[in-house]
Each structure stands twice: as structure tokens, then as C-alpha cells.
Structure 1
Amino acid sequence: MLDYFVSAAVTMLVVLDPPGLAPIFLAVTSGLSTEERRRVAWRSSIIALGILAMFGAIGAPLLAALGITLPAFRIAGGLLLFAISFEMVFGRRTERKSENAEAMMREHHLHHLSVFPLAIPLMAGPGAITAMMLLAGEAKGDPTRLAGLFVITALVVAACLAVYLAAERMNRLLGVTGNAILTRLLGVVLTALAVQFVMDGIRAAFLTG
């Protein structure tokens, strides 16, 4: 059982990669105040945890019932991530924020940002969801192992939240110019990650087909 818990902890840490989320969080929340960033961090973490817990509990039978394969899920996640990376590279996000300056529109934007791309697909993405379903399957219905898996997942998501909250310090160090450069560079990185998701999905589809 100890081996299972260690394997689950290492797998979820590697898949979610909390330290790697800090610069991406800064990039996609550029232009937000400290309080708004904090709210987005909490919401996205809670949403991601809920999604991962749900897929750990009923993910495999749910996708099977809908006729959705894991490769198709991975391709969809890659395409969604590509859309947001395109906006980051060309500065469309900043333009849209300046156009939607009214309070209610901004609140809507914060809710949207918490769900996409932070909760999905950066935290609860195809890799994390797949890992969660596989680890839940390895538990073979053992309540202790399943409970341990959910606790481990909650702790890893909490680590992501801590990274998000600490990212504000990095934002102050970078300044306006540094954040603009970082947003473009990470947009390119996210584009490559999105393409990799799609390629992995296509490869897996051919192998399973």
C-alpha cells in the first residue's frame, strides 16, 4: 500500500508540476490586481480538485458511456490550450480586457479565467485526468487506497495554489515590460505544449486503433 501511495504522489506531482505553473499563471492573469489574482487562484484550484476527484471516482465509466476515448480527450485539451496560447502570443487577451472594462464584464472574465485555461486544461488537463483514472483503477476499489489518492491529489492541488499565491511576488519583480515579454514567450511554449497534446492523442489513437 505504501508503494501505491508513493507512486500516486510522484505521478500527480510530475503531471501537475506546481513549480512550472507559476510563470504560466502570471502570463494568463496579466493585468489583474493582487486581489483578483488571489480569487482566480482559489477558484481555479477548487475547480481543478473537483474535476480530478470526479474523474477519479467515475471518469472511466463516464467516458466509456459517452463513447469518448482518452486520445480524443487529449486532442480536445490540446486544441483548447492552443486557442489561449494564440491569444497570449498576439496580445489579444490584453486588448479584450481593455474593451471589457465594466465591473460585471470583468467579474465574468475572472470566472471564465478560473475555469479556462487554469483549471482546465493546465491543472486538470488530459494528462492529470488520465493519471487520476489510472491510479483509481489500480486501487481496485480499496476504500483506503482511494481515500489516500484523493488526499494526495488535494495536497498536490494545494501546492499549486501556494505557487499561484506566491507568483505575485514574481510579478512585482518583472514589472510591466517583463510581464509583456514573459506572456509572449510563454504563449509560444503553451503553443508547443498544445501541439504536443494533439500529437500524443493522435499517436495513441493510431496505436489503440
Structure 2
Amino acid sequence: MNLNLREIASATMILFAVIDIIGSIPIIISLRNKVGHIQSEKATIVASCIMIAFLFIGEEILKLIGIDVNSFAVAGAFVIFFLALEMILGIALYRDDVPESASIVPIAFPLIAGAGTMTALLALRAEFHVENIIIAIILNTIFVYIVLKSSKIIERFLGKNGINIIRKVFGVILMAIAVKLFTSNINELFQ
């Protein structure tokens, strides 16, 4: 076992910023208003299963199509960079339309375990031990579950400005992570 508190903390923060469940509160609330109820348990369990499965078979899928982890991590750095830009500038470069029904599909995938999360997982895999990433996934899904269960309370407590401030702070953190990911993996590609 290669448990490392620093790796766990880093991976947890990266996934927290990429999943951006706080920034997704407006989407979650509009879904709850449309359909009445969100299955928080199902959504978080399915999302964590998707993330853990991708952590293990994602690299094999890449090998199958002839892409190494470092190349994927560099591409992932770009995706994370653009996600950070969206968060900091408050713009939407890309966002799926809000679905008609709230079930596993819109919440677990792509809201929680979306393309950005998958990219971050493989990028993390290139730098951290798997057990630390799994702990980070579990910590994040626990937090996601709490947010899904109490989204109305959080919205009232933070208000629109509070949510915007949190998104911008995590956007800056995410941008720094993207730059670090890019520089550490681009060197590997040229060696």
C-alpha cells in the first residue's frame, strides 16, 4: 500500500475542482424543480463506480487506440485549463443542455463523472498511486452526496454571489493544476 496524505489531498482537491459540484448547484436545483426528486444515492454510487472503473480500464482503452498516458494527460491539461477558464470568467465554452428528467444519466454522467473528470483521473494516474486516487474519489463522492441531499440549503446559505466566488477560487486552483499537469507531462513526451 502506498498511502500518502499529500497525494490524497492533492487528488481530492483536483477532483473537487473538476467535478465542480458547488458550481453545479444551479443545475441540480433546476433539475429538482423540473422533476421533483433527485436520486442522490443512486447518482453518487453510479458516478463513483464509473470513475473507479475508468481509473483501471481507461489506460487499457487508450492503449487499444494507441495513445499513451502522458499524451492523454497533456490533452487533459488543455481540457482542465478550459474548464478553469469557464469557472473564472463565468462563461460557458461547452455545456450540455439541462436534461428533461433527473436520473442516473444527467447527474452521475455527465454532471459528476463527465469528460473533465475522466481526463483528470487518467492524468492523476500518471502522477499518483491508484489507492490514493480511489480514496480521493470516495471522499469526493461523499461530498457530492451531501451537496445533492442539501442543495437547497446550500443555495440559501451561500447565495448567488457566494457560489460565484467559490467557482472563481476553484477556477484559479484548477488553472494552476492544468499548467503543472502540462509541464510535467510534456517533458515526458520529448524524452
TM-score, scaled to structure 2: 0.60
Counterpart selection for 1:16 from 2, 6, 12: 12
Counterpart code for 2:114: I
CA contact (8 A) 1:71 1:200 kept: no
Q: Report Cα offsets for 1:32-60 as digits up to 9, x if no partner.
A: 43796962744653343233322332233
Counterpart selection for 1:168 from 152, 155, 159: 152
Q: Mapping of 1:66-145 within 5 angstroms?
A: 66=65, 67-68=67-68, 69-79=71-81, 81-82=83-84, 85=87, 89=90, 105-107=99-101, 111-112=105-106, 114-120=108-114, 124-132=117-125, 134-136=128-130
1:185 corresponds to which residue?
A: 165
TM-score, scaled to structure 1: 0.56
Cα distance in 1 for residues equivalent to 2:168 and 2:133 = 34
Matched, 1:200 2:184: no
SS at match of 2:90: helix
CA RMSD after TM alignment: 4.5
Flag the 1:83–1:162 CA change in 2: closer, same or farther, 3 A.
same
Q: Identity of paired residues, percent? A: 9
Deviates more, 1:58-67 or 1:22-31: 22-31
Structure number with the higher helix fraction is 1
1:141 corresponds to which residue?
A: none
Cα distance in 2 for residues equivalent to 1:132 and 1:118 = 18
Matched, 1:53 2:52: yes
> Displacement, 1:188?
2.9
Which consecutive residues of structure 1, in runs of 5 or more, have no partner in the other structure?
A: 98-104, 137-145
Larger radius of gyration: 1
Cα distance in 2 for residues equivalent to 1:54 and 1:47 = 10
Flag the 1:160–1:125 CA change in 2: closer, same or farther, 3 A.
farther
Counterpart code for 1:72: V
Which consecutive residues of structure 2, in runs of 5 or more, have no partner in the other structure?
A: none
Counterpart selection for 1:156 from 114, 136, 139: 139
